[in-house]
Amino acid sequence: MSQSRRIQIDVPTLARVEGEGALKFSAENGRITQLQLRIYEPPRMFEKLLEGRHYSEVPDIVARICGICPVAYQISAVQALEDIFQVEISDWAKNLRQIMYCGEWIQSHALHIHLLAIPDFFGYDSAIAMAEDYPLEVTRGLKLQSLGNKLITLCGGRSVHPVGLKVGGFHHAPELEAAQTLKAELEEALPDIEALIHWLDQISLPDDHQAFTCVALAPDQALTPAQALSPVQATASTTTQGNNQINADYPIMGRQLTATTNTGNGEKKEKEEGERKESRTDKESNTSLNLDIEHFQDHFKEHQQDCSTALHCLLDGQPYLVGPLARINLNYALLLPQVQQQMTQLQTQFPSQNMFHSVIARALELYQAILQAIECLENYQPTNTPYEKITVKAGTGFGCSEAPRGILWHSYQVDEQGLIKKATIVPPTSQNQARIEQDLEQSLYQYGLEHSDDELRLRAESVIRNYDPCISCATHFLKLDISR
């Protein structure tokens, strides 16, 4: 096929992503001339809707932003509000929030792996079509997803837009018997998730290494650059990196952010793409940022693009990645020993610069979440005091948690009556949007523009699906500039 052919690919509705987006892609003479991820789903204006509402209403309102990751929205929100009211929640509530969040990771990751991502790698249009030939694998995925939903229901009353969380803790304590039953179900599912990880590891994924910056929460006692970047050594009981022992959980909620650029696997790659020449030396990694979430907006700036109703967010002017692969790349030393043990048996090595390894990163996090939930349920006992009393005070607070798709940052300003004066929510998909466009360009060059339109379209869609974008989440705002 000639390099001089004109390529025009218009995907009016992106498939197997949550929400409504489109892709416009043009190329001529072997050069990409237009590449736009268009998010056209109407803005939902949640930040404005929150203004004037009582702080106690916030968890239930923000849960409506997403049907897949409502827990993330609720947790980031209550964290920010508890930050304002300077309330320290009990260890009991922290433990239950961890369980609930694990439930969300389990259901969201299982859903994305099985219903959205893997049909690409097996040549099917959908999980429904794939189910005929892979019934056991699809059934296993549905079972794992269902377990996640049960955990959310245990803590939140229902799995979609749960209602259990409140500022200060939880409205009520789950029953002991229900918690124990679910713990037993999670333990029974461990062989399933181990089988899933190894099955995914056998899939032939595209070899598409790129340089990119990863951003994720760090443990509150942040890793040193040396700790964050040295290879993992797993043992049965402790986690070590280099000579440094680390005692911290794989972060889901926290106050510290960390970022690295060019995390890699030690290979040096050079590639010529038309007139472009790209040179990347892996292991040039360095930790470029350790930041309290309070200072998020000093480095992370949102801006509007004409093509999108979702804001693009840049880190010091550059695209960056959030989500499972970024988390694993940055925090793999903090994964539970059983997860690290599985990782040592895989062909796929982490940290990885191949975005297609996201599907395996997601499965490893699914395993982590199940193990973590079992651990948290181990000594669970109901309590009569599931929440702390709140004393309202005016102020500004910040919350950040690792939604299944990446960091979800909230900030609220509250007045002395407890009414919301201002709300700012930065969801993961708008943070990944610039990175997706950057990835698309690099990936399509690397794949080769000589491929047919259908092949290029499928590759482009697969690239986008690696990020598990939730467009409905990303369009919760409307930035309106009026000139008079």
Partner 1 sequence: MLTIIGIGSPMPGDQLGWQVIDQLQQLRQHRDIELDTYGSLQPANQIQSIDQIQLIKLDRPGSGLLDYLDVENRAILIDAIMSEQHDFGEVIRLDAHQLVAPSDSAVTRKQPSLLSSHGFGLREALLLASQLKRLPPECQIIGLNLYPSLQSSGNHIAYNSLHKTPAEREAFLSIDIRPLIALVTTEINSAEALRNV
Q: Would you put residue 271 in left (φ > 0), alpha (ψ -120 to 50) or beta?
A: beta
Residue with smaller CB distance to partner 1, 77 or 111: 111
Residue with smaller CB distance to partner 1, 107 or 372: 107
CA nearest to 150, candidates 201, 188, 203: 188
Residue with smaller CB distance to partner 1, 141 or 399: 141
Residue with smaller CB distance to partner 1, 145 or 262: 145
Strand partners, 37: 23
Alpha-carbon span 136 to 131, nearest angstrom:
8
Cβ burial of 91 (10 Å; 0-12, 13-18, 19+) is: exposed
122: number of Cβ within 10 Å: 13
Shortest distance, position 395 Cβ to partner 1, whole Å = 33
Tokens representing residue 97 in the block: 């929030």
Residue with smaller CB distance to partner 1, 264 or 323: 323
51: number of Cβ within 10 Å: 12
Alpha-carbon span 33 to 49, nearest angstrom:
39
Residue with smaller CB distance to partner 1, 254 or 324: 324
Alpha-carbon span 340 to 343, nearest angstrom:
5
CA nearest to 427, candidates 39, 26, 16: 39
Alpha-carbon span 435 to 214, nearest angstrom:
10
Alpha-carbon span 309 to 173, nearest angstrom:
40
Residue with smaller CB distance to partner 1, 160 or 176: 160
CA nearest to 117, candidates 382, 358, 399: 358
Contact footprint for partner 1 (CB under 8 A) = 13, 15-19, 67-68, 111, 115-116, 119, 125-129, 131-132, 135, 138-139, 142, 145-146, 149, 158-160, 472
What values do phi and psi take at 144, rounded to 5? Answer: -65, -40
What values do phi and psi take at 268, rounded to 5? Answer: -105, 130
**Considering all CA atoms of the chain, what is the largest pairwise distance in Å, rounded to the nearest integer?**
72
Shortest distance, position 135 Cβ to partner 1, whole Å = 5
Alpha-carbon span 243 to 245, nearest angstrom:
7
Shortest distance, position 129 Cβ to partner 1, whole Å = 6
Across the beta sheet with 213-218, what order do the strands follow? 213-218, 256-261, 286-292
Residue with smaller CB distance to partner 1, 127 or 229: 127
Shortest distance, position 141 Cβ to partner 1, whole Å = 9
CA nearest to 37, candidates 69, 12, 66: 12
Shortest distance, position 376 Cβ to partner 1, whole Å = 23
- Helix segments in 254-353, DSSP class H: 296-299, 324-331, 337-344
Shortest distance, position 157 Cβ to partner 1, whole Å = 10
Shortest distance, position 264 Cβ to partner 1, whole Å = 32
Residue with smaller CB distance to partner 1, 119 or 174: 119
- Examine residue 231 and say whether the peptide bond preceding it is cis (omega within 30 degrees of 0): no
Alpha-carbon span 47 to 62, nearest angstrom:
9
Residue with smaller CB distance to partner 1, 133 or 175: 133
Shortest distance, position 108 Cβ to partner 1, whole Å = 9
Residue with smaller CB distance to partner 1, 411 or 429: 429
